[in-house]
Amino acid sequence: MRTYFIAGNWKMNKTFGEVNTLLSQLKKMAAEVSGVDIAVCPPYPYLSLAVEILKDSDIAVGAQNMGWERSGAFTGEVSPDMVKDVGCTYVILGHSERRKFFKEDDELINKKIKLAIASHLLPIVCVGESLHERENGDTEQVVKTQIEGCLKGLQTDEIEKITVAYEPVWAIGTGKTATPEQAQQVHEMLRNWIKNNYNREIAETIRIQYGGSVKPDNAKELLSQKDIDGALVGGASLDAKSFIAIIKSCE
């Protein structure tokens, strides 16, 4: 039986003092929660602070991205070894905002995934279609193309270390949410793809999160779907009470 996994993607938000307050609140509230894996992904400057505050808790820390090389002349980039060294467990890769604003493609994301795993980080791999693609009926083809490109060449033991996050682009930060039925349909397709390209055991154990305007008032219905194993939460993870409410929806 899979354990739910709820991760908070803070994106480019919060200051030092706000991070301190939020994590202190979250640590206290999460102590009452059991049976759910939890992670927070603050901006790079606050990763060390997050690791320090959460060291005596069950909340893991992840980075929102990483570079594609271990070291070198890549001004402004952060290597997977740095992310691991600071104390991170997870790293988000392939988020739609990285694809849209920074032109990251499946080939680059694939390279990052392989390097993350080799660096003993656990990737959260994001896939999802735009509103135009959904309205054209291309959701399944777009998501399949992304997952095929992102996971190209990965072996069975590597796939076991991955979490997949289905994030319809049109539902990220818009207040729109895929219906539970729409989300379930794509999650089921992804699980079947993993079964057909790897094996049934991995398909049954790999966790597939939903992301896209997840809030306390819609989390329960989304998380009750057969193939939805958690959530990658954006805006609602910036408030301790709302994030914990989503986490408690798993219970």
Residues taking part in catalysis: 95, 167
Please report, as a single letter, which amino acid is at residue 247. I
Whole-angstrom Cα distance, residue 27 to residue 240? Answer: 9
Listed residue (36, 39, 2) closest to 202, CA to CA:
2
Look up residue 131 and give its two tokens. 């509103």
Look up residue 96 and give its two tokens. 């739609």
Q: Report in angstroms the alpha-carbon separations of 242 from 171, 213, 234.
A: 18, 12, 11
What single DSSP character describes residue 179? -
What are the residues whose beta carbons fall under 8 Å from the beta carbon of 109, sequence distance 6 or more?
93, 94, 125, 149, 150
Look up residue 22 and give its two tokens. 């939020």
Are the CB atoms for 41 and 10 separated by under 8 Å?
Answer: yes
